Structure 1
Amino acid sequence: MEMEVQSPPHQGGEFSVVDMHTGGEPLRIIVSGYPEVKGDTILSKRRYAREHLDHLRRALMFEPRGHADMYGALIVDSETPKADLAVLFMHNEGYSTMCGHAVIALGRFAVDYKLVKEPQTPETQVNILCPCGLVQAFVEYSDGKTGRVRFLSVPAFVFAEDVPVEVEGFGELTVDISYGGAFYAFIDAQRFGLDVTKSRTRDLVDAATAVTKAVKSQVKLYHPCSEDLAFLYGTILTDGKEEYSPEPTANMCVFAEAQVDRSPTGSGVTARVALQYHKGLIQMNQTRTFQSGATGSQFTGKAVQSHRTSKTDREEQTLLFI
């Protein structure tokens, strides 16, 4: 039976969204219904949304329409003609600067919903302006259908190695801090007597959250392009298998307000690739497989270019495949 569905009389706004997921991690793409997000740049739009429209983030991310681990992407106007679309990322705490799993989903979304007018076979490039910069997604396309997606991220770099922090309940621990469009602290889950694929999620969340709080209170971050990017997004617990192996290495990302990423974490994998390359544990163009400790889904990533800057000892640009 077919029937035409119309909205009954109601008060308040009406939003059009498309729900997707990447490796089990949700993405709610907000297509229409949002008021104008003012600002001349993507970062000023992010500030405006946080200061003036945050009630809408809460309405779309939290129950009853969403849940504590919902993730959102709001399509906004781009200030650069190079971009096919611009996007703000949102979650249970606020607004991220980069999200790899969202970029992967948005790549397919842009082609499927014809934001890219002339898709190319075998692969269509989709330029996505994120708060951290322009990211290039490449979407498999054949016979009118989209497939696998990879992306070239913004430059990633290691901020600091072996940073000592006093973690409540665990004492002094050392963490590595790396940037892949957002800053993450990295630490082996075994330091807490935990396993990222077998331990209770609650225990992993508690450990990662304690690390995040410690780093935020004890370490001042710096980003060479903008202070808006200089904040710790979360902590990634790893299985400690940092040296290259053809076997997958697992990790679990806990970000924002104790939110668990069901995917291996796109920006987190980017930051982890930069960290492994910086330490000489993987080589340029050497593909590594990363597995989600939560769901077992996998991403692959590799460093594709290296260059030095005056602000950091080294920056590595990374390419993430799925």
Structure 2
Amino acid sequence: MSFKSELTIDVIDTHTEGEPTRIMFWNNIPRNLKDALSVRKYFIEHYDYIRKTLLLEPRGHKDQFGAILLPPVNTESDYTIIFPTTESYLDMCGHATIGVSMALVALGYVPFEGNEKTIIYDTVAGTVKARVKIENGEPVSVSIIDVKSYFVKQIDIDINGKPVKVNLSYGGNFYAIVNSDDLGVDVEPENIDKLLAYGKVIRAKSYEILKEIYPDNKKNFYPLAMITDSKHDYRAIVTFSVNSYDRSPCGTGTAARAALLVHEGKLALDGQYVNESIIRTKFSCKIISSETVNGNIVIVPEITGRAWVTQLCKIVVDPSDPLKHGFLVQ
């Protein structure tokens, strides 16, 4: 049997509290790029087919998520990291950063001594530090110090002829946060189709408002939707991309929700809370610093969660394969 391959990529698969991350290293970029946004732009222009190859069917699925590790742009950082989805890229991703950090320690990519290892990443949203907790030589959890997070604005959007309140908040990505009571649906697995449908409308209508608020923004401000469950204080679901949803509690969503809770007076500036996903997995969040900017409270949150390596594999691309760079049915 003969076998041909025009491209071979080693990948590490992890899950963070249920949400997958497909991780790869990529060094083939210029070293003079000034920031992570420039790195991502270069990668998209030259290698976006790799995103499709890794994440789309037949090797992936519509809910697959990625993390690409590249050389750092800042001297004090260990890596630049970009976050591809099946549709585009996010500026920052908490669950993926936790998964990457666990994998780097568990598989020996970074040396460590003692009970903690700090890894610093350049992301489009800013510098993110990950502290990996180690017990008996094994990583057991990761705490990431996210970028500055803040409440943006409360708006009303029309859903099925009814005004629905949406809180726009930022935690590394923009979020449009809606209470499930206003939609008449609980955050439960059996309601996933309804939740995804609402999420799609919430994202699209909130995006139009964000374009007006940030007309000169060069980063990604198409929001993710977070639907919080009124029956459970800190349960929520985050939807994004092509009707995908986060199985984890969502790291940047947890940060954005913390900023909203502070704005509403429901979380103290030295407070903490636990965010729960639709499958009941959890992230803990505590505020490690805050400041007031133009009358708005800006926080720096620390998100803690767990991840596990699930697969080590080699992706191959046969030049004769008509679907070699993947496909997406939506």
Instruction: Decide: shared fold, TM above 0.5.
Output: yes
Whether 1:258 and 2:248 are equivalent positions in the alignment is: no
Moved beyond 4 Å, runs of 4+: 221-224
The letter for the 2-side match of 1:127 is: I
- Report the secondary structure of 2:211's partner residue: coil
Asked whether the equivalents of residues 90 and 220 of structure 2 are also in contact (C-alpha less than 8 Å), the reply is: no
| Aligned with residue 194 of structure 1, among 185, 190, 202 | 185
CA displacement at 1:105 relative to structure 2: 0.9
For residues 136-182 of structure 1, what are the alpha-carbon distances to aligned partners after superposition, in whole Å with 9 as ceiling and x for unaligned?
11111133211111111111011112x12233x34322200000000
Partner of 1:164: 156
Distance 2:129 2:212 in 1: 26
Distance 1:252 1:9 in 2: 43
Distance 1:221 1:85 in 2: 33
Distance 2:71 2:212 in 1: 29
For residues 65-114 of structure 1, what are the alpha-carbon distances to aligned partners after superposition, in whole Å with 9 as ceiling and x for unaligned?
11000000011111112112211100111110010001111111222333
Partner of 1:209: 200
Partner of 2:325: none
Partner of 2:273: 288
Asked whether the equivalents of residues 165 and 175 of structure 1 are also in contact (C-alpha less than 8 Å), the reply is: yes
> Does the C-alpha gap of structure 1 residues 79 and 35 become closer, same or farther in structure 2, counting only changes over 3 Å?
closer
The normalised TM-score by structure 1 is 0.88
Q: Does 1 or 2 have the higher relative contact order (CA < 8 Å, sep 6+)? A: 2
Distance 2:270 2:257 in 1: 14
Whether 1:267 and 2:252 are equivalent positions in the alignment is: yes
| Aligned with residue 54 of structure 1, among 48, 59, 69 | 48
The letter for the 2-side match of 1:204 is: L
The letter for the 2-side match of 1:177 is: L
Distance 2:180 2:44 in 1: 33
- Report the secondary structure of 2:206's partner residue: helix
Partner of 2:130: 137
- Give the share of equivalent positions with the same residue, in percent: 27
Whether 1:309 and 2:297 are equivalent positions in the alignment is: no
Unaligned runs of 5+ in 2: 306-330
The letter for the 2-side match of 1:229 is: K
For residues 180-222 of structure 1, what are the alpha-carbon distances to aligned partners after superposition, in whole Å with 9 as ceiling and x for unaligned?
0000000011211100125421110001111111111344265
Asked whether the equivalents of residues 29 and 42 of structure 2 are also in contact (C-alpha less than 8 Å), the reply is: no
The letter for the 1-side match of 2:95 is: H
Asked whether the equivalents of residues 292 and 298 of structure 1 are also in contact (C-alpha less than 8 Å), the reply is: yes
Distance 1:221 1:20 in 2: 37
Distance 1:27 1:40 in 2: 26
CA displacement at 1:227 relative to structure 2: 2.1
Tell me whether 121-130 or 94-103 shows the greater mean CA deviation: 121-130
CA displacement at 1:279 relative to structure 2: 1.2
> Does the C-alpha gap of structure 1 residues 82 and 35 become closer, same or farther in structure 2, counting only changes over 3 Å?
closer
Distance 2:96 2:157 in 1: 31
- Report the secondary structure of 1:187's partner residue: strand
- Report the secondary structure of 1:166's partner residue: strand
The letter for the 2-side match of 1:319 is: E
| Aligned with residue 31 of structure 1, among 13, 25, 33 | 25
The normalised TM-score by structure 2 is 0.86
Could you say what the CA RMSD is over the residues aligned between the two structures, in angstroms?
A: 2.2
The letter for the 1-side match of 2:7 is: G
CA displacement at 1:301 relative to structure 2: 0.6
How many residues were matched structurally? 304
The letter for the 1-side match of 2:171 is: G
Distance 2:213 2:69 in 1: 28
